[in-house]
Amino acid sequence: MSREQRGPNEKLGAVLALAGISNAGLARRVNDLGAQRGLTLRYDKTSVARWVSKGMVPQGAAPHLIAAAIGQKLGRPVPLHEIGLADADPAPEVGLAFPRDVGQAVRSATELYRLDLAGRRAGTGGIWQSLAGSFAVSAYATPASRWLITPADSSVAREAYSSESSGAPLKVGHSDVRKLREAAEDARRWDSKYGGGDWRSSMVPECLRVEAAPLLLGSYSDEVGRALFGASAELTRLAGWMAFDTGQQEAAQRYYIQALRLARAAADVPLGGYVLASMSLQATYRGFGDEGVDLAQAALERNRGLATARTMSFFRLVEARAHARAGDAHAAGAALKAAEGWLERAREGDNDPSWLGFYSYDRFAADAAECYRDLKAPRQVRRFTEQALSQPTEEFVRSHGLRLVVSAVAELESGNLDAACEQGVRAVEVAGRISSARTTEYVKDLLHRLEPYGDEPRVVELRERARPLLAPA
């Protein structure tokens, strides 16, 4: 559906001309972006002509999808006002703020938590659908700079005089915080084993809404408050990571920003660095290597002389991933060497944070392999992938699947088609056991690389095995 503006939308026409997108091309891009978010859209060149020549304004998620489609072609975010669609229903700003004031930070986080599991408020449409394609790496600039300037609040003690649910103040204690930390620990295991889209993982946003939000709005001392903010930050980062794994980039971005703000209130600098590293990985995955470098280096900067050796190793590894995606082989190699050096210094008795339990040499090797994949160095990819795949897989099933795909790509680039297909079959088997859009995207990339060999029996077999995985839900 659409409504009519006054006269032609000259802004939209001008930006389409600048981007070199035809009416049919824009319609196709918008439909494709909608399909990625579970929307069935049937726009065509006539629809676009109406938007431009008659000033019709499409409803729902379409204006944001139009902006995202044009932004992808231009390589930068495109705000609605630039294309003459500022009068469309605005995408909610929920979760994008990084307030200086602690009280406002609590309101910002709990506002995000109040979205239900389907991303809807009562009586409204799907919020994440309306935000489709709205990820913008530039939204991380202010949170990162404010965190670098002031990584801790002076006091977070809070006196609540009423509770939204009961009308009575809620006094928060350490036992309440322990429950949140236990929930975070469980969620980390579920995510690694079953993927971010599994029903177990989907309980994290519910935990934030039902458990964390009332606690954050309650009364607590500075000591309890710091612990509460830290536990909430861990859960919020996990919600972001799971959204990232399921392809909900715009949701992940908002969770990450709030997690960083909560880590600042907790005065937990290593945790803040971990959130920044997660932001960096997302930016790198989305193709913003330079911004990924900036975010990883922000994580490193505040943690010098503070974080454990294993933590610093992980941050340097994330930096290496970003350098590799940006095509800087020298910087990536230096960061990998530093990451390995820090990891060699790590000792069993170090006071590593609980959220770093996943990180060991096999994870280092897996990410090093991905760095060399991006740098098109298959021999190095094979060397590190062999090390990464030598470890047990029961706990980190998704990681094992990703490593198998990277191994398959390395074999293919080395001219070993049979080995590539063998690893690909194993990866498809793993991907079929978990719910991870990211793993599926890796498999799609492998199949794309195999297209020149499409008539080979092993490739045909792999494609058939992958068909159920790639079929629309």
In the predicted model, what is the mean pLDDT of the chain? 86
Tell me: do 122 and 223 sit in the same domain: yes
Query: What is the rounded CA–CA span in Å between residue 73 and residue 18?
Result: 10
Q: Is residue 216 part of a domain?
A: yes
Tell me: do 109 and 193 sit in the same domain: yes
Q: Is residue 46 part of a domain?
A: yes
Q: Is residue 54 part of a domain?
A: yes
Tell me: do 68 and 196 sit in the same domain: no
Residue 37 backbone phi and psi in degrees, to 5: -105, 15
Per-residue pLDDT averaged across 235-245, rounded?
A: 92
User: Which is more confident, 434 or 268?
Assistant: 268
Using DSSP's 3-state secondary structure scheme, residue 102 falls into helix
Q: What is the DSSP letter of 239?
A: H
Instruction: Please name the amino acid found at residue 283.
Output: A
Tell me: do 199 and 260 sit in the same domain: yes
Asked if 124 contacts 114 with a C-beta cutoff of 8 angstroms, the reply is no
Tell me: do 113 and 75 sit in the same domain: no
Predicted confidence (pLDDT) per residue in 37-85, tens digit: 556 788 999 999 999 998 888 876 788 788 888 988 887 777 778 898 8
| Percent of the residues in the chain that have a pLDDT greater than 70, as a whole number | 86
Tell me: do 184 and 49 sit in the same domain: no
In which element (H, E) is residue 30 found?
Answer: helix 23-36
Per-residue pLDDT averaged across 238-242, rounded?
A: 92
Q: Is residue 413 part of a domain?
A: yes
Tell me: do 70 and 113 sit in the same domain: no
The two structure tokens encoding residue 266: 């907790």
Query: What is the rounded CA–CA span in Å between residue 80 and residue 348?
Result: 53
Q: Is residue 106 part of a domain?
A: yes
Whether 118 shows a pLDDT value over 50: the answer reads no
Instruction: Give the pLDDT confidence score for residue 392 in this predicted structure.
Output: 63
Q: Is residue 291 part of a domain?
A: no
63, 221, 227, 380 from 173: Cα distances, Å: 46, 9, 10, 51
Tell me: do 152 and 262 sit in the same domain: yes
Alpha helices, DSSP H, located in 170-268: 174-194, 203-207, 213-216, 222-245, 249-265
State whether the Cα torsion 245-248-249-250 is positive or negative: negative
Asked if 252 contacts 244 with a C-beta cutoff of 8 angstroms, the reply is yes
Q: Is residue 314 part of a domain?
A: no
DSSP letter for each residue of 357-384: TT-SHHHHHHHHHHHHHHTT-HHHHHHH
The two structure tokens encoding residue 398: 């998704």
CATH number at residue 22: 1.10.260
Q: Which of 56, 61, 51 shows the shortest CA–CA distance to 21?
A: 51
Instruction: Give the pLDDT confidence score for residue 200 in this predicted structure.
Output: 53
Tell me: do 98 and 195 sit in the same domain: yes
Q: What is the band of 15 on the pLDDT scale with cuts at 50, 70, 90?
A: very high
175: containing domain: 93-127+141-267
Tell me: do 391 and 431 sit in the same domain: yes
Asked if 259 contacts 96 with a C-beta cutoff of 8 angstroms, the reply is no
Tell me: do 207 and 59 sit in the same domain: no
Tell me: do 98 and 217 sit in the same domain: yes
Ramachandran region of residue 51, left (φ > 0), alpha (ψ -120 to 50) or beta? alpha
CATH number at residue 448: 1.25.40
Last residue of a domain, one of 267, 299, 325: 267
Q: Is residue 328 part of a domain?
A: no
State whether the Cα torsion 175-181-185-187 is positive or negative: positive
Model confidence, pTM: 0.78
Last residue of a domain, one of 83, 115, 150: 83
Ramachandran region of residue 7, left (φ > 0), alpha (ψ -120 to 50) or beta? left
Last residue of a domain, one of 233, 267, 301: 267
Predicted confidence (pLDDT) per residue in 123-174, tens digit: 333 455 555 556 788 889 999 999 999 888 999 999 876 544 445 558 999 9
Alpha helices, DSSP H, located in 54-161: 62-74, 102-113, 127-130, 141-149
Query: What is the rounded CA–CA span in Å between residue 373 and residue 325?
Result: 9
The two structure tokens encoding residue 452: 């020149």
| Overall number of domains in the chain | 3
Per-residue pLDDT averaged across 285-314, rounded?
A: 95
Instruction: Please name the amino acid found at residue 148.
Output: L
Query: What is the rounded CA–CA span in Å between residue 209 and residue 19?
Result: 41
